[in-house]
Amino acid sequence: MGKNLKIILIQLPIQGYDFFFSHENIPLAPAYLHAIASEFGMEVEILPDPVMSYGSDQAILQYILDVRPDLVGMSCYLWNVERSLFLAKEIKKHLPSCVIVLGGPEINPENHFLLNHSEFDIGVVGEGEGTWKALLQSFPDLDRISGLLLRRENGRWEFTGYSPSLLNLAQIPSPFLKGNLHSHLKKILWMETVRGCVNRCAYCFYHKRYPGVRAFPLERVFREIEKARSLGLKEVVFLDPCWNRNPELRGLLERLSEMNSDRELEFHAEGEAEGIDPWMAERMGRAGFVELEVGLQSIKKETLQRLRRRFDPDRFLKGVSLLQEFGVEVMVDLIAGLPGEDLSDILKSLDWVIEHGAYDFLMLYPLSLLPSTEFHERAQEFGLMAMPRPPYLITKTLHLNASEIHQAFLEYEKRMEEDISPLEIPPALDPRDRDVSFLQDLYHQISWNQPEEIDHLTSVADRTAYGITIKVSREVLRMSERWSPILRGYLKKNPFSLLSVEVPFDSSLEELRPLWDLAREHSHPVDRDYTVTHSPYRSFLLFSRAKGLIWKWPDPREFQPLSLPDGQRVSYPPVCLVASSQKSLPGWFFEEMEKRYSKIPEIRIWSLLED
């Protein structure tokens, strides 16, 4: 047994101004590791909420520095790996002896983005529980453990090789049954019934991590469902990549329909529409399934062959119809940017689904060129180019450039007749009086009404939420020499902040210029998504409100094309989003715009007041 370690485990959330996705930051992977470390008698904790799911970079760092752990483990995904690496670097500055261990889908020996970083000490590759157990048992002597990325003294990474065997899932303790997840559950439980996938999709890495399909014991699954009901949870999200291909499906559905006959729990899953038969659809409806997400991706035969996916149009339509008949809504996913497809192919797939009414929710996603996937390995052959940073968005293929991929999303928005790239409104500006008690003692708004209040941001910098709103008076706005260094310093220490500033509605563009200068300096992954249909710069927003209206000022950068890392440029119309309970805007608002712009930006009605 290795030394007795003090351990903190972390899973950083998807970020958004309204914290919506952060509510779903269920640290299932850290909870598995917590259960294993607890069995060894180690002092281990999952970073508590609200700090983990809602805290700023400095709020998280300060908590860790106060605890002074020997080891910090972070679960890394597309949406949080950059922030995790930043946090690892900051921890090392203050606690150089602390060992930083990263795990999750982003950690693999072919991820060049990851390997260019030296902020962490150990990477766990593939299924983590067995490797984690061996690591704790042998620490600090790790050379003989397979499944690790180890940083050598020369700074190079060395991979110790894939583990020759996978764990028996029955031997992995349930973190939910042990109570390790309770403090992080917000009426939603994420759970697995299997690991592995029967499909071998060329864009996906999952099947490489888990070859074959292995099932958790059914009795364990049923105990978890019973506990979810007893705790009053409302939703269960099954993480299985293809739920209706579970080898124990019949027994699972029969028992779920008995246990949850009152549909007290709502179930969500991902699966294949072609595999749905009448019995399965009826049982899913009876058991309480409310949604099945199906990955159609494309209807083009040649594309699907390249993807290594099957598609039977008649069976697909029948499966969707059966699910809808028994009250299960269907979310259909399509991908833009697949090799071999041009813009017309993407639109044909969209139109086919729409014309057949084969969806309740229709989603179009850009292809991510994930490291170690078949598409990544064959990128040169297929002419694929992608952004070098997560989420590795595709920017060019042999048949599409970035502007055409962006055009696909504009066409998708026209067909959906709704904003497909909605911008969240910060709670401090939301007229619907949203409950923010989940933030507890974290600051999400700061007022700069008087000059002496400017320094308040510095004094609470380690107690802020990652999304923060600063309300600025006219007097303070004109004192940029006072507040600009403070705001710049805050963003330097909290680079993964989402900042919104409320300014007086009659501010001139010249008065706003110092804020826009800071916005240009602030770089955040949320600004990287060129497939949004408007407002591509989303990490630093300026708002005003007056006479019942709330609006987002167009970022001056929107008046110029967006430059991508590969040199391509994508154009957007400058957009002013206006939230109003009325369908038409008053004349005074247009007068205010005319005072500031020789050509009024596009005015979009923000539908948030209709929610």
What is the residue-wise DSSP string for 509-537?
HHHHHHHHHHHHH---GGGG-TTSSS---
How far is Cα 424 from Cα 446, in angstroms, rounded to an integer? 19
Side chain identity at 11, as an amino acid letter? Q
Side chain identity at 346, as an amino acid letter? I
How many Å is the maximal CA-CA distance in the chain?
A: 74
| pLDDT score recorded for residue 471 | 98
**What SS3 state is found at 190?**
strand
> Given the DSSP bridges, would you call strands 575-579 and 602-606 parallel, antiparallel or unpaired?
parallel
> Given the DSSP bridges, would you call strands 394-396 and 385-386 parallel, antiparallel or unpaired?
antiparallel
Domain annotation for the chain: domains and CATH numbers:
6-159 (3.40.50.280), 187-367 (3.20.20.70), 427-610 (no CATH)
Kindly report the length of the chain: 611
| pLDDT score recorded for residue 609 | 45
The list of the chain residues with pLDDT below 70 reads 1-3, 208-209, 608-611
| pLDDT score recorded for residue 258 | 96
| pLDDT score recorded for residue 2 | 54
Identify the DSSP state of 494. -
Model pTM greater than 0.75?
yes
> Given the DSSP bridges, would you call strands 266-271 and 235-238 parallel, antiparallel or unpaired?
parallel
Identify the DSSP state of 209. H
What is the residue-wise DSSP string for 298-353?
---HHHHHHHT----HHHHHHHHHHHHHTT-EEEEEEEES-TT--HHHHHHHHHHH
How far is Cα 458 from Cα 353, in angstroms, rounded to an integer? 52
How far is Cα 469 from Cα 439, in angstroms, rounded to an integer? 14
**Residues paired with 468 in a beta bridge:** 499
Q: Of 309, 381, 394, 401, whose CA–CA distance to 349 is shortest? A: 309
Identify the DSSP state of 55. B
Is the Cα torsion angle 13, 19, 20, 24 positive or negative in sign? positive
Residue reference for tokens 């619907």: 432
How far is Cα 363 from Cα 455, in angstroms, rounded to an integer? 44
| pLDDT score recorded for residue 608 | 61
**What SS3 state is found at 413?**
helix
Is there a contact between 47 and 63 (Cβ–Cβ < 8 Å)? yes
The string of pLDDT tens digits covering residues 250-308 is 999 999 999 999 999 999 999 999 999 999 999 999 999 999 999 999 999 999 999 99
**What SS3 state is found at 251?**
helix
How far is Cα 406 from Cα 141, in angstroms, rounded to an integer? 50
On the 0-12 / 13-18 / 19+ scale of CB atoms within 10 A, 353 is: buried
